[in-house]
Structure 1
Amino acid sequence: MTNKLSPEAKYELISRNLQEVLGEEKIKTILKERDLKLYWGTATTGKPHIAYFVPMSKIADFLRAEVEVTILFADLHAYLDNMKAPWMLLNLRAQYYEHCIKAMLSSIGVPLDKLKFVKGTDYELSREYTLDVYKLSSIVTEHDAKKAGAEVVKQVDNALLSGLLYPGLQALDEEYLNADAQFGGVDQRKIFTFAEKYLPQLGYEKRAHLMNPMVPGLTGSKMSSSEEDSKIDLLDSPSEVKKKLKKAFCEPGNIENNGILSFAKHVLFPLFKPDEEFIVPRKSEYGGDIHFMRYEDLEQSFAKEEVHPGDLKVAVESYINRLLEPIRKEFEKPELKKLVQTAYPAQNKKKNPTSTDTADEMVPSRLDIRIGRIVAVTKHPEADSLYVETIDLGEENPRTIVSGLVDFASIEELQNRLVVVLCNLKPAKMRGILSEGMVLCASVDEPKQVEILIPPSGSFPGQRVYIQNYESGNPDEVLNPKKKVWEKLQVDLKTNSDRVAHWQGNKLITRGGGFIHSETLACAPIK
């Protein structure tokens, strides 16, 4: 007979590794009387990836703490997200999500009989729920609805009404799922506080909210379904896992925005048995394998550069493949293979039959723009107006970039400075030195002024820069110089009257939400 956990032990399991808990006392009071009832929801749009193991790991904690967990497949929410998919596909994707999440939970040893799975349209189209949506719409202001959805609903100047409804639906789910608490990422915080404000105005109880930290993706920014290089798909092969991890941002000694370390912290260590160790394999000439019982010890060793990024990647690769192998086997079933193909049909891009490019559309998502840090700078030995800069772009080796900035910034001003870099220009020799990118600047000709673009606060080397409304899609590996891709897109890259960089009015942003800007130059071309 197993020992029943105390309320204090249950709360410890429920709250560990979370970034924030709203309603801590409410949860503790409930635990003294009965088991907690909690729900976690996910919109069924892009394919689930390994970051989903982060909430799955917490769901394992909840179940160990005897929490009654409901998993909501939010198909109606997915439909309202700019109608990215028709109803037929959303129904298939809800089925795909259910199979994926059940396979993930089985992979980490979570008993499925303790879970309840619900689809949003099972109850969100009922008369009662619909009337409550109307009631909410009569008391919620446009300002509060926009603010609540700021982190999870795409922000545009002329917002669709569907995006304004989204937070209210998520708030009502708490009532209709009879939950004491809702669990989600910290990016959901504004929706959670929205629910705490408005549910009592409908006569419903205020719920508690549990928030996971946002775990960085492989590129250092948020792991995203729409950014292929930032995530590992649940059905990726071992060779694909190795390839993506090899390219992952993992700077020696840097424990910030490190997706490899974060995965170890939030997924691997919480799933280990009490006597299980995290093993970093190393050759004997480098000291042999290292064993860690606690994540804190691994992080400390990595910060001290006692653990090399390459060795850490090899270790995490092994654990990821261990988690994914049962899922891969499950999806070898013919009916599930067919489900994947029909739920996510291949996108056939139109090609110019005379072109060798896979895409000829001039969209800014083709540009690979990243934050870099200048780690060294010298004068070009053959050209007085040029600098030779060594720039850390979150890759295994820094890049050499030649820039004509001598007349506009001193070596001291450039040293250790964060810059915005176009990374997929074809490398070209500039007075005998190969330049592997371009530092982007705002500039005007009369009088001649050049200002290096300024990344937002909190940026870091390797972080991707996106153009609003063009976040999906992968950059070209190399911009074709014969097609003049950069030249055609560059024409519309400028700063606006507020000195914010934009392309045809769509601002340049990082995943953290900050804008790229110039110091003083407004309405100036960027090149």
Structure 2
Amino acid sequence: MIKAGVKFRMWVADWHAMANNKMSGDLEKIKIVGKYFIEVWRASGMDLSKVEFMWASDMAKNSDYWKLVVQVGKSNALKRFIRTAEMMGREESLDKLTGAHIIYSCMQVADIFMLGAKITQLGMDQRKVNMLAREVGPILGFWKPVVVSHHMLMGLSKSANPVLTSEVRQGLAESAIQRTIERKMSKSNPDSAIFMTDTTEDIKRKINKAYSLEGDIKENPILEYFKYIIFESFEKLRISELRIERPEKFGGNISFKTYAELEKTFSEKKVHPMDLKAVLIKYLDQLIEPVRRHFEENAEAKKLLEQVRSFQVTR
């Protein structure tokens, strides 16, 4: 999007994290995590000259912001805001929802217009609040933002819930989306995801124990990492194809130029999960190495990482 000429404003939503009880609602800890995220983006090669970082805690000092939050809250009945609760990563019952969750919804809609965002780029789990913003915008004299909802990577662990195959086959897209949200990575379960500062040994352990059923292309986190990370990073990895090296008795070396080729071959059980895991470990480690090195060599970044690791993560 930056290459296309979009002016990007990165919203560090510390107050929202507090409302959602991240870091047990400790705003100071949340701010440290926010600074850590900025360091990760910097180390990942993001062109920060074209990105403006803005903090919710700064916006919270503006009375016009809270005026808009109230106006958003007045625009719909309570049940409309309750329907957006899954944007915080969960489907909550009325007994578990707090007033902060409702304020969160109003804040996030207000954010879009206070930031002047014509495009919102968020995860699929936040699609409902973005659609609410499209409804509310014209009512309050604003615009309908373009909603870009990106895919959420599966967690590496096997899901405890049954696959919604029958519903998906019937074309119930909402069920498929909800299933994706349920299976997403979780910061509170470190082995369910690869973190940007993981060591080589961390990556090996997590990928080797990750769920990957031979021939399964529907709910396979290993395949997802190839589809959304490795095949999108050929230029950065300086490769033109995915090459898997293996002994002749196991089929010999094999190469793929597209993810579609890999998926088809895997579905035919011509490539074993362990073949994929070995090469995935190699390439993930290469991609993460610059970030890891930044947090080792930059004193400020190193301190932030140490602080974040000392915090107990809450869902």
Shorter-chain TM band: 0.7 to 0.9
1:77 aligned to which of 5, 13, 16: 16
Question: Residues 315, 243 of structure 1: CA spacing in aligned structure 2 closer, same or farther, 3 A cutoff?
Answer: same
Tell me, yes or no, if structure 1 residue 172 matches structure 2 residue 172.
no
* Number of the residue aligned with 1:200: 138
Q: Contact 1:167–1:194 at 8 Å: present in 2 too?
A: no
The answer on 1:260 being equivalent to 2:222 is yes
Asked if 1:301 is matched to 2:253, the reply is no
Matched to 1:116, the amino acid is E
* 1:98-117 pair list within 5 angstroms: 98-104=38-44, 106=45, 110-117=46-53
Distance 1:331 1:102 in 2: 11
Partner of 2:149, secondary structure, is strand
Partner Cα separation in structure 2 for residue 80 and residue 259 of structure 1:
30
Q: Which residue, 168, 174, 188 being the options, matches 1:226?
A: 188
Match of 1:316 among 235, 259, 280: 280
Structure 1 window deviating more from structure 2 (277-286 vs 129-138): it is 277-286
What is the CA–CA distance in structure 2 between the aligned matches of 1:296 and 1:153, rounded to whole Å?
Answer: 30
Q: Over residues 63-86 of structure 1, what are the superposed CA-to-partner deviations in whole Å (9 max), with x where a residue is unaligned?
A: 232322221111111111136231
Q: Which residue of structure 1 aligns with residue 173 of structure 2?
A: none
Q: SS at the partner of 2:121? A: strand
1:339-350 equivalences in 2 (<5 Å): 339-345=304-310
Please state whether the residue corresponding to 2:129 is helix, strand or coil: helix
Q: Which residue of 1 aligns with 2:254?
A: 290
Q: Indicate whether 1:326 and 2:290 are aligned.
A: yes
Whether the 8 Å CA contact 1:76–1:121 is kept in 2: the answer is yes
C-alpha contact (below 8 Å) 1:280/1:311 kept by paired residues: yes
Change in CA separation of 1:73 and 1:246 when aligned onto 2, cut-off 3 Å = same
CA offset at residue 264 of structure 1? 1.0
Aligned in 2, Cα 1:345/1:325: closer, same or farther, shift over 3 Å? same
- Seen in structure 2, the aligned counterparts of structure 1 residues 216 and 153 have a Cα distance that, compared at 3 Å, is closer
Q: Deviations over 1:466-485 (max 9, x none)?
A: xxxxx96xxxxxxxxxxxxx
Structure-2 change in CA distance of 1:200 and 1:244 (3 Å): same
In structure 1, C-alpha distance between the alignment counterparts of 2:278 and 2:85, rounded to whole Å:
38
TM-score by length of 2: 0.84
Change (3 A) 1:322 1:217: same
Map 1:328-367; keep pairs closer than 5 Å: 328-332=292-296, 333-345=298-310
The CA RMSD over aligned residues, in Å, is 2.0
Return the offset for 1:269. Answer: 1.2
Aligned to 1:88: 28
CA shift for structure 1 position 153:
5.4
Which whole-Å CA distance do the structure 2 matches of 1:245 and 1:267 have between them?
14
Equivalent residue for 2:197?
A: 235
Give ranges in structure 1 of 5+ residues lacking alignment.
1-61, 348-470, 473-527
1:142 Cα shift? 1.2
Residue identity over aligned pairs, in percent, reads 29
The aligned residue for residue 61 of structure 2 is 125
Which structure has the higher relative contact order (CA within 8 Å, separation 6+)?
A: 2
Q: 2: distance between equivalents of 1:314 and 1:153?
A: 31
Aligned partners of 2:208 and 2:307: how far apart in 1?
A: 31
The match for 1:249 is: 211
Q: What is the correspondence of 1:152-171 to structure 2 with a 5 Å cutoff?
A: 152=88, 154=90, 155-156=92-93, 157-171=95-109
Give the Cα–Cα distance (whole angstroms) in 2 for the partners of residues 296 and 78 of structure 1.
38
Q: What is the alpha-carbon distance in structure 1 between the residues aligned to residue 247 and residue 282 of structure 2?
A: 16
What is the rounded CA distance, in whole Å, between the counterparts of 1:284 and 1:260 in structure 2? 23
Classify 1:116/1:281 alpha carbon distance in 2 versus 1 (closer, same or farther; 3 Å).
farther
Greater strand share, structure number: 1
Q: 1:160 to 1:346 in 2, by over 3 A?
A: closer
Where 1:118 maps in the other structure, the secondary structure is strand
Which stretches of structure 1, 4 residues or more, deviate above 6 A after TM superposition?
none
Code of the residue aligned with 2:139 in structure 1: it is: Q
In the other structure, the counterpart of 1:149 is 85
One-letter amino acid matched to 1:137: G
Residue number in structure 2 paired with 1:213: 151
The one-letter amino acid paired with 1:78 is A
Deviation (angstroms), 1:345 = 2.2
